[in-house]
Structure 1
Amino acid sequence: MTNDIGGKANDASRNKKLTSALIVITALALTFFHLYTAGVSMFGAWIQRDIHLTLILVIVFLLFPMRRRGDMEKASIIDYCLVVLALASGAYIVLFYQDIVMRAGAASTTDIVFGGIMILLILEATRRATGWVLVCIAGVFLLYNFIGPYIPGLLGHKGYSLSRLISQLYLTTEGIFGVPLGVSASYIFLFIFLTSMLEKLGMGQFLLRLAMALMGRFTGGPAKVAVLASGFMGSINGSAVANVVGTGTFTIPLMKSNGYKPHFAGAVEACASSGGQLMPPIMGAAAFIIAEFLGIPYINVVVAAIIPAALYYLCVLFGVHFEASKLGLRGLPRKELPSARAVLKEGWYFLIPLGVLIFFLAVLQYTPIRSGFYAIISMFLVSLVNKDSRINIERFKDGAVIAAHNTVTVALACAAAGLVIGSINLTGAGLKISAAIVAASSGVLWLALLLTALVALLMGMGLPTTAAYIVTGTMAAPALVNLGVLPLGAHMFVFYFAIISAITPPVALAAYAAAGIAKDDPMRIGFTSCRLGLSAFIVPFLFAMEPALIGVGDTMHIAWSFTTALIGVMALAGGNIGYVVTKTYWWERVLLIGGALLSMHPGVYTDIAGILMIAAALAANFTRGRKANAAVLPEING
């Protein structure tokens, strides 16, 4: 019996070692493939996307095996069979590419078989990596291709055969291998590899220490550190949950020890982490897809995101400041804080790759692929500055595995979304859904925006941000454009709400991640996050109706719109928290919130009315606060 147990343990150990070795080999293959195509020579779009997806599928079936027991995860014979099928269906396109192209869409039986296998593999891999929600949504759209003749009214269609559907999804670039997967296969991996390596080299700790040095001494310093650090990190890694876990492990206990209540500390971290995908220069994967969908340079998306991101983070900063003032919390003692000069002296070189990226994107206006490649080269060079952060074989290997792991969710979201987009294109559902949104809103823009926001939030509650944006944007953005919204504004609107779904109950993923660290109710943290980041639910409506807030228009108009929106954000935070320099009366809160909404709304008269209301509330609050301080001073002096 003992020998049997020992033999099984040895078999499991060998199996696990084999699986780990295959994961490393595949991750390295993925890394070298993308470095080659970025820096040397790009493959054709279809081949590039096919190889990328094939390697991702292999990694998924090894990383997320079918059977999991405790901490011993090992691939089974079924998982290895799925790996072989993934390699076969991917290799088929590479090997018979010319034959497929020459047939010009006339699919053979072999095409259909391998195409069907690829679709099933994508659904299974997506289930393992992201859960059932995206699989169910893709499944509904796939089923829609067959049941069209039985659907009455606007959404009905003639119906399509299985072979026609597989041909559309597998043998064209309008299905699985469409624009979303193209973005993932071209440069998303490069950026994820860059950020994964930087974090592996210690950039996360550097940014956290820098935030401590810059914000720690101010009122409510720990919360402001969390906002700044999470903004820095979120801009780089593009994942709200990973951001919460990465920075929240340090910042949430620090906020609690400073006097913040657990649910508020968790909400600050959830809010700040979720907004990271809005923060230039890297943002989230969906930002690259916006650029591809609209056919515009990525730097245009970055510029459009600057003002909304600033308003979002300023609203959170004002909120934590007013909350700290209300609770009488102070900053951290200077002796406990690092010096900003010392921190920059130790880790200044971490900023060089980001500087290189921005220079090539914004100044030289290179493509994201080439810009990302040069940023990676600069990262390798600057790692030589400090012997503790030099890239060796072990670090490179670990960085490749981490990057592959972090790419899985994005790549599969893009592939599964390709199933949805392919079905929409085949059946014409996009135009029908767009027409339905216009009809349901009776052509009223704000109502169409509200319906779109609700759909994006619902999609985002169970989907990765990228998938939520792609699915909702494909269906709803055209309707907004038809109602007069600029295409960039329409797609940014959907993108924004897909992101903040991470803090919107009941499925607030960032709030759940923060709850585990804060040791508080995730729903309470979620609702507090919504209060704290209230501007996130308002700003998208503003820039959809006022393009100046996404950098469109003359400089003076953009500056005025930003200034009035900034005043509104400050007043909104004060009215929401119920404190400015002293506790607000109920009527002051009404003036602050009402004035905020008016000043943020586009229009000269509403701006003036809103500013006057805010000024009246602030004057009353400041006067009362000064009197209270004057009454306290004699007691202190006495």
Structure 2
Amino acid sequence: MSSETKPIRIIDKENPTHGTAALLGWQARVVFYIAIAFTFFQVANAAFSPLPSIVLRSMHVAFLLLLTFLLFRFRRDSDAKGIPWYDWVLAGSGFALGFYHWVFEADLILRAGEPTMADLVVGVIVTGLVIEGARRIMGWELPLLCGLFIPYAIWGRSLPGFMQHRGFDFEQVIDVLYLGTEGLYGTPTFVSATFIFLFILFGALLERAGMIQLFNDIALGTVGHHKGGPAKVAVISSGLMGTINGSGVANVLTTGQFTIPLMKRFGYSGVFAGAVEATASMGGQIMPPVMGAVAFIMAETIGQPYSEIAIAAIFPALLYFGSAFWMVHLEAGRRNLVGMSKEECPNAWAAIKRQWYLIIPLAALVYLLFTGFTPLFAGTVGMALTAILILGQHATGATKVLLLRVLFWITLGLIAFVLVHFANLRVEQASILLIIVLVILTWFVKGGRQLQVLILESFADAAKGALGVGMACALVGILIGISQMTGLANDIARGILAVAGDNLLLALIMTMIACIILGTGLPTIPNYIITSAMAAPVLLEMGVPLIVSHMFVFYFGIMADLTPPVALAALAASSIAKDSHMKIAFTATKIGVAGYVVPFMAVYTPALMLQGGTWFDTAYVLLKAVISVGLWGAAASAWLWGPLNWPERLFATAAAFMLVVAAPITDEVGFAMSVAFIAWHWWRTRIPAKPA
């Protein structure tokens, strides 16, 4: 089906219950080509950087507003088949006003701090459009919260208690929110316009190249035939998908279409199948090398290289997915669930040999990220390599022969070398030019037209996939800008310190509760931005290392998507599993127990995130974490080698808790209790039950 007749419908990755109405005919074509233009704009800026930073941010938001009002209706339950005239007006206005910073850039610099009436009018309109656009995508909660910050800034002198501040004029508020880089166009928008968009495109291209199928084949071939194999496949394939796609809810809606029905077919309940997929998919946001959008924002916020964030996340991510795998194994043992037959499972090694080249872009990305190159550079090169692979993989006839010959790759390398060293181009610029040349060449060979459509559809997917993230980043700029103006973040931090005193555990629990409460209505990105501004400084003040304090709030922002009552990941899974959203959410919190435990262990022993200490320290805390997670998993599932009764489950939970709290004597007590529990349970279960 061509792009001219295929309906354009996207699912909001932060709220899977809401989708746009199908668009057909000329409206579908217009939106399709606007999405492609958005991606071309982003790629060109990533490679050539022709625009000043504030102009790039403004145009990025302009494209977001344009597509948001064309794709999302005023009423969330609307089933309209077309775009109403007023949405065309709003979309066009949002896009046109994006040029304001471009056209009047010099004038705005000269009159900084003294906005004109035109500046204020445009600022009010754009701020209102961002709030309304975000409401259409993610609902009322976050837009209402951010919108209330505007009157808070203006009438702060009339407020009681710690919320009181000196107050600001309306002109000052709009100046901060719209004309500078502290509000709508703050750091989150900058990260969305650069790193995040590029990695969304990278993931979209890899999906088109067949990476999901490769991951599924590897997972099926390695564990599909083992006990509880289908659920283990879900954990592994979702974990692998997390390396290229950092959106948890999006992972549920992609890999879940395959894994949840597979688990149900082999005996898992719909609740457990949905919970496994939700838990594994949310872990994609903490799985290096790509991780989620929050990781890029964190790197910019704390001024650390992205590679340092990814390195710190390695062991916690392995523990998280190891915990999910362990819970699946225990559930399979408790219910005696068998795996698939070997004949049903593909050969993992054969799949790798058949599509080994798909690993090249991911390997290049990992190498570049961990050898000091910027995420922007690494993402551009990885995206270029993926596009070239798609051209080679999906071409037919003469094109396939041409693109897959060794001579072609050698020639490609020589051209890139010439462009970089003799044409004074950067590597990412040369990569983009090579893609353009290859796409043009496909016009003249068999199968070329289909390849171009494939590439363009990937570009459109990336643009649509960036809407939820980008609008959230722009919207929380309101909250950040006003918090900085009024000093609210510092006041909240001082309040937490006053309550917690010197009690680090109390401060951690308060921060965890704040993250989860915020997460009941907010996506991960605004959740992290808010809590990192208000709660992370508290942990830093109490001696927690910088990266660990921010990772703590990051992790619990993610876990909020598994925690009832909202649990967006569970909500997405319920639409596929056809079972209770709340039951899936409660089960997911048990499966994802490591996500609640590991952040506390990292705070007490930062070596878990490679922040200080020796390799022996890291190995020691990793051993404690593995035992602790294993015991908690057994207690939660009421099964180890056999069923666990309530006294055994309580004893195992206590032993696990002792290993988490790093007090002088707790480790010794925890290890002793763990050995005693394992020995007792092994002895009890090895004795066959007497017949009645």
Q: Same fold (TM over 0.5)?
A: yes
Aligned partners of 2:601 and 2:625 also within 8 Å? no
Change in Cα spacing, 1:15 to 1:583, as seen in structure 2 (3 Å) is closer
Aligned partners of 1:308 and 1:550 also within 8 Å? yes
Does residue 125 of structure 2 align to residue 117 of structure 1? yes
The corresponding residue for 2:318 is 310
Report Cα offsets for 1:164-185 as digits up to 9, x if no partner. Answer: 1000111111111111111001
Change in Cα spacing, 1:68 to 1:596, as seen in structure 2 (3 Å) is closer
The corresponding residue for 2:671 is 611
Aligned partners of 2:23 and 2:81 also within 8 Å? no
Deviation, structure 1 residue 627: 2.5
The corresponding residue for 1:635 is none
The corresponding residue for 2:163 is 155
Deviation, structure 1 residue 191: 0.3
Change in Cα spacing, 1:608 to 1:120, as seen in structure 2 (3 Å) is same
The separation in 1 between residues aligned to 2:282 and 2:223, in whole angstroms, is 20
Report the TM-score when normalising by structure 2.
Answer: 0.86
The separation in 1 between residues aligned to 2:105 and 2:209, in whole angstroms, is 41
The corresponding residue for 1:381 is 388
Q: Which amino acid aligns with 2:194?
A: S
The separation in 2 between residues aligned to 1:559 and 1:600, in whole angstroms, is 15
Deviation, structure 1 residue 209: 1.6
The corresponding residue for 2:659 is 599
The corresponding residue for 1:6 is none
Q: Which amino acid aligns with 2:172?
A: R
Deviation, structure 1 residue 470: 0.9
Q: Which amino acid aligns with 2:585?
A: G
Report which stretch shifted further, 414-423 or 145-154: 145-154
The separation in 2 between residues aligned to 1:526 and 1:316, in whole angstroms, is 14
The separation in 2 between residues aligned to 1:432 and 1:23, in whole angstroms, is 45
Aligned partners of 1:275 and 1:500 also within 8 Å? no
Does residue 559 of structure 2 align to residue 500 of structure 1? yes
Within the candidate set 365, 370, 378, 1:371 is matched to 378
Within the candidate set 559, 578, 590, 2:619 is matched to 559
Does residue 308 of structure 2 align to residue 300 of structure 1? yes
The corresponding residue for 1:414 is 473
Report Cα offsets for 1:499-539 as digits up to 9, x if no partner. Answer: 11111111011112212222221111111111121221122
Aligned partners of 2:154 and 2:168 also within 8 Å? yes
Within the candidate set 643, 646, 652, 1:586 is matched to 646
Report the TM-score when normalising by structure 1.
Answer: 0.93
Q: Secondary structure at the match of 2:297?
A: helix
Change in Cα spacing, 1:445 to 1:73, as seen in structure 2 (3 Å) is farther
Does residue 96 of structure 2 align to residue 36 of structure 1? no
Report which stretch shifted further, 296-305 or 452-461: 452-461
The corresponding residue for 1:345 is 353
Deviation, structure 1 residue 16: 4.8
Report which stretch shifted further, 613-622 or 254-263: 254-263
The separation in 2 between residues aligned to 1:414 and 1:567, in whole angstroms, is 39
Q: Secondary structure at the match of 1:82?
A: helix
Higher percent of residues as helix: 1
Aligned partners of 2:632 and 2:652 also within 8 Å? yes
Aligned partners of 2:631 and 2:652 also within 8 Å? yes
Aligned partners of 1:349 and 1:385 also within 8 Å? no
The separation in 1 between residues aligned to 2:569 and 2:344, in whole angstroms, is 29
Aligned partners of 1:468 and 1:498 also within 8 Å? yes
Aligned partners of 1:66 and 1:76 also within 8 Å? no
Deviation, structure 1 residue 586: 3.0
Change in Cα spacing, 1:351 to 1:419, as seen in structure 2 (3 Å) is same
The separation in 1 between residues aligned to 2:261 and 2:194, in whole angstroms, is 39
Aligned partners of 1:221 and 1:330 also within 8 Å? yes
Does residue 459 of structure 2 align to residue 459 of structure 1? no
Deviation, structure 1 residue 273: 1.2
Change in Cα spacing, 1:144 to 1:350, as seen in structure 2 (3 Å) is same
Within the candidate set 143, 162, 175, 1:167 is matched to 175
The separation in 1 between residues aligned to 2:341 and 2:538, in whole angstroms, is 54
Change in Cα spacing, 1:530 to 1:15, as seen in structure 2 (3 Å) is closer
The separation in 2 between residues aligned to 1:63 and 1:473, in whole angstroms, is 31
Aligned partners of 1:196 and 1:403 also within 8 Å? yes
Within the candidate set 466, 474, 479, 2:533 is matched to 474
The separation in 2 between residues aligned to 1:19 and 1:427, in whole angstroms, is 44
Report Cα offsets for 1:76-123 as digits up to 9, x if no partner. Answer: 221121122212321111000011101132111111111111101100
Deviation, structure 1 residue 545: 2.5
Within the candidate set 86, 90, 97, 2:94 is matched to 86
Report which stretch shifted further, 593-602 or 275-284: 593-602
Deviation, structure 1 residue 299: 0.6
Aligned partners of 1:243 and 1:273 also within 8 Å? yes
| Structure 1 unmatched ranges of 5 or more | 1-12, 633-638
| Structure 2 unmatched ranges of 5 or more | 1-20, 401-449
Change in Cα spacing, 1:574 to 1:15, as seen in structure 2 (3 Å) is closer
Report Cα offsets for 1:25-46 as digits up to 9, x if no partner. Answer: 3222221222222222353221
Q: Which amino acid aligns with 1:499?
A: I
Deviation, structure 1 residue 463: 1.5
Aligned partners of 2:209 and 2:393 also within 8 Å? no
Q: Which amino acid aligns with 1:360?
A: L
Within the candidate set 327, 332, 337, 2:335 is matched to 327
The separation in 1 between residues aligned to 2:284 and 2:127, in whole angstroms, is 32
The separation in 2 between residues aligned to 1:321 and 1:267, in whole angstroms, is 14
Deviation, structure 1 residue 556: 1.2
The corresponding residue for 1:183 is 191
Does residue 592 of structure 2 align to residue 533 of structure 1? yes
The corresponding residue for 1:256 is 264
Change in Cα spacing, 1:70 to 1:37, as seen in structure 2 (3 Å) is closer
Within the candidate set 10, 20, 25, 1:17 is matched to 25
The separation in 2 between residues aligned to 1:596 and 1:132, in whole angstroms, is 40
Deviation, structure 1 residue 544: 2.0
Report which stretch shifted further, 237-246 or 388-397: 388-397
The separation in 1 between residues aligned to 2:491 and 2:22, in whole angstroms, is 54
Report Cα offsets for 1:326-348 as digits up to 9, x if no partner. Answer: 11122221111111111112222
Q: Secondary structure at the match of 2:194?
A: helix
Report which stretch shifted further, 525-534 or 29-38: 29-38
Aligned partners of 1:278 and 1:305 also within 8 Å? yes
For 1:209-220, what aligned pairs fall within 5 Å after superposition? 209-220=217-228
Q: Which amino acid aligns with 2:125?
A: I
Does residue 284 of structure 2 align to residue 276 of structure 1? yes
Does residue 429 of structure 2 align to residue 429 of structure 1? no
Deviation, structure 1 residue 295: 0.5
Aligned partners of 1:148 and 1:155 also within 8 Å? yes
Aligned partners of 1:89 and 1:115 also within 8 Å? no
The separation in 2 between residues aligned to 1:89 and 1:404, in whole angstroms, is 20
Q: Over aligned residue pairs, what C-alpha RMSD do you find?
A: 2.0
The corresponding residue for 2:72 is 64
The separation in 2 between residues aligned to 1:25 and 1:558, in whole angstroms, is 50
The separation in 2 between residues aligned to 1:175 and 1:446, in whole angstroms, is 34
Aligned partners of 1:235 and 1:284 also within 8 Å? no
The separation in 2 between residues aligned to 1:323 and 1:33, in whole angstroms, is 49
The separation in 1 between residues aligned to 2:395 and 2:687, in whole angstroms, is 56
Q: Secondary structure at the match of 1:118?
A: helix
